[in-house]
Structure 1
């Protein structure tokens, strides 16, 4: 879709701090992160909401999200992640996207109030993207992303 910023990221016409690329979608840093290392995962085709995602894409898309939910804490020494998705309400970009947010006990995140923390620079953002991307690649190659 021509006016969708996430479709622009998929096409390469809109810059992003790319974390990982998969046939199922793209993962990149949120430009207004809850915490540094906050990743957005999107399917490649323009789909507005989860109910609109073609069922044939579900397995690949959620496997991609699953691997990233393992890569983020491993790469950033976080204790876990918060994985979330909005459909229409609070969906700032009308393109399906899943938030993968690094979490640590006592980080101050409570409920659905999401304070935002900016990156100090583009270099810092690029470093976070590279670190998480490397962990994603390691997990996707060894397929050890599943954690109990």
Structure 2
């Protein structure tokens, strides 16, 4: 992905991205986070956002919570169309493939996700939609 990358315009997310870059990917205190770049499903542009994660073997587990909104986040919809993504974890940039977790994987992983970010439990009760978990596995 060599095109221009467009950062998430939401102010608090943009602040996370800026901090991530300024610190060389140093995580926020108490939170494992990364930058995810997807290809826009309609625009074709590269879109970057900051997300918390937990690990499951080689995979990074992301939560498509959208802060409990009744719609999926754009990054999730983008990777459903184009699962080839880029991760920035710490100082490393990794090509990866993303896929929604199966129901069984989600049931197994949800407790670890909530342990890492307790606010996800609140988001889950704030919406009627199922909050998807996404497994992102580096390919390089």
Asked if Structure 1 and Structure 2 have the same fold, meaning a TM-score greater than 0.5 normalized by the shorter chain, the answer is no
Whose strand fraction is larger, Structure 1's or Structure 2's? 2
Give me the TM-score of the superposition, normalised by structure 2: 0.35
Higher relative contact order (CA 8 A, sep 6+): 1
Give me the TM-score of the superposition, normalised by structure 1: 0.34
